[in-house]
Amino acid sequence: MDLMRAARLHLPSHALTIEDVPRPVPGVGQVLVKVEAAGVCLSDVHLIDGTLTPTYPPGDCVTLGHEVAGTIAELGPEVTGWTAGQRVVLQAGEVRDGRLLTRGVDYDGGWAEYALASVGTLFALPDSIPIEQAAIIPDAVSTPWGAITTTAQVRPAQAVGVWGIGGLGAHGVQLLRAVGACPIIAVDPVPAARRRALDFGADLALDPADPRLREQVLAATGNQGLAAAFDFAGVAAVREQALTVLAPKGRLVLVGLTDKPLTVTDGTRFSYLRHQILGHYGSEENAVAQLVALTEGGRLDFSRSITDVLPLADAAKAVQRLHTKEGDPIRLILRP
C-alpha cells in the first residue's frame, strides 16, 4: 500500500500531527489530486482550538484543508472529461445525501500530498493563474463573494462596511470594489490591516475603538449609514457596533463564525429601522467558476494575497502564525 504525508486533526484531543497515511484510491466519479497548494484559514485555527467542531464528524480524525489546488494524478472508474496532469482547483465542500459537507472538516481535505475529489467539485484552472492564488479562491475569495453578491445582494453605489481585514475581509474589500460598492468603509483594530484595506480599495479605514466611528461613517455616507455591513471577524462586539451604523433596511451579514450569542441591544430601533441580520456560509456552486473567470479576465488580482508558502511539515507553525497574526498574514499556503 502506498503511503502519503498528511496533517491530521485528532478530534477528541485537538492534536494536529503530521502522519503517514494510506494514499486514497479514487472511487467511481472521483479523481485523486496531487496537492500543489493548500490555504490555511482561520477556521482551521478554530477547529484546532476547539471553538469550531465539524457538523458531521468523519470519525476521530480528519485531514484538514478546504482551500486546495493541484494537478489530477489519477482518474477513478467512469470519470470522463478530465485527464491526468490537468491543473484544478477544488470546491470547498459538497452536498451528499442532502447534507452540506465541508472539505477538510467533515471529510479529508488537502493538507496532504494527495486528496480525493468528486468530479462535481473540480474546476479546470487556466495556466495564467498561479497555483497558490488559485488555492485560496475556494473560501478566502468565494465566501466573501457569496456574502456580497448572494446574501447581502450589494448593488452598485451602495455604501458598505467591512469589519475584520484578514483573509476574508481583504478579499471582501477587493470584491466590493469590483461590484461597484461606494463608499467602502473598513474597520479593524490593527493599523497594518487598515493600511492594507486602503491599498486594496477601501475609501476609509477606521479603528473600532475610535469614539467618532459612527460620526465618521455617517459623514462618509451622506448621513445615511451603511446599506450592508459584513462581519468577517466573528466577534460579538463587531456585530453590535455594525448595527449602530446601518442605514434603514440595512443588512448585517455574519460571515465570521463564533459560538457566542448574538445580541440586539435596542430591539425597538432594530424593528423601526427594519434592519436585517443574515447568516452566511460558503458560496453558491458557481462561485469558484465565476471567480476563476474574473481572475483570468483580469478583473481580479490575488497576487498580493499570498503572505508566505510553507512546507506541509510546518502546518502547526502556519496555524500559530495565523492565530497570533504574526506578520499580519492574508493567506499562508502549505505546499506538500
What's the CA gap between 306 and 170, in Å, rounded? 12
- Binding residues for Zn ion, total number by CB under 5 A: 3
Least gap, CB of 85 to Zn ion (angstroms): 28
CB of residue 285 to Zn ion, shortest distance in Å: 17
Q: Which residues contact 26 (CB under 8 A, 6 or more apart)?
A: 32, 74, 75, 76, 79, 116
What ranges make up the beta strands (E) of the chain? Answer: 3-10, 15-22, 30-40, 61-63, 68-75, 87-90, 93-96, 99-102, 114-118, 122-124, 160-163, 184-187, 204-206, 226-231, 246-254, 276-279, 306-311, 331-335
Residue 43 CB, nearest approach to Zn ion (Å): 4
Adjacent-strand bridge partners of 333: 39, 309
Q: How far is the CB of 66 from Zn ion (least distance, A)?
A: 6
**DSSP of 101-135, one letter per residue?**
EEBTTTB--SSBSEEEEEGGGEEE--TTS-HHHHH
Q: Choose the binding region for Zn ion from 36-44, 181-189, 203-211, 286-294 (rule: CB under 5 A).
A: 36-44
Residue with cell string 481583504: 170
Give the x-and-dash track for 180-199 against Zn ion (CB under 5 A): --------------------
Residue nearest to Zn ion (CB): 41
- Measured from the CB atom, the residue of 132 and 139 that comes closer to Zn ion is 139
For Zn ion, the closer CB: 24 or 144: 144
Q: Which is nearer to Zn ion, 43 or 174 (CB)?
A: 43
Query: How far, in Å, CA of 76 to CA of 72, rounded?
Result: 11
Which CB atom, from 41 or from 315, has the smaller least distance to Zn ion?
41
Kindly tell me the burial class for residue 247, based on how many C-beta atoms sit within 10 Å of its own C-beta (0-12, 13-18, 19 or more): buried
Give the nearest distance from C-beta 151 to Zn ion in angstroms: 16
Residue whose CB is less far from Zn ion, 111 or 243: 111
Q: Which stretch binds Zn ion (CB under 5 A): 34-42, 70-78, 151-159, 190-198?
A: 34-42
**Which residues between 252 and 311 bind Zn ion (CB under 5 A)?**
none
Of 39-47, 192-200, 252-260, 307-315, the window that binds Zn ion (rule: CB under 5 A) is 39-47
For Zn ion, the closer of residues 239 and 331 by Cβ is 331
Closer Cβ to Zn ion, 158 or 163, answer by number: 163
Measured in degrees and rounded to the nearest 5, phi and psi for residue 220 equal -80, -15
Report CA torsion sign: 36, 42, 47, 53.
Answer: negative
Query: Is the CA virtual torsion 237, 328, 109, 96 positive or negative?
Result: positive
Nearer to Zn ion, 32 or 136 (CB): 136
Question: By CB under 5 A, what part of segment 89-148 binds Zn ion?
Answer: 139
Segment near Zn ion (CB under 5 A); pick from 15-23, 33-41, 157-165, 222-230:
33-41
By CB under 5 A, is residue 43 in contact with Zn ion? yes
Tell me how far, at minimum, the Cβ of 44 lies from Zn ion, in Å. 7
Q: Provide the minimum distance between the beta carbon of 92 and Zn ion in the complex, in angstroms, as a whole number.
A: 7
* 266 CB-near residues (< 8 Å, 6+ apart): none
Q: CA-CA-CA-CA torsion for 68, 70, 8, 100, nearest 10 degrees?
A: 40
Q: Which residues contact Zn ion by CB under 5 A?
A: 41, 43, 139
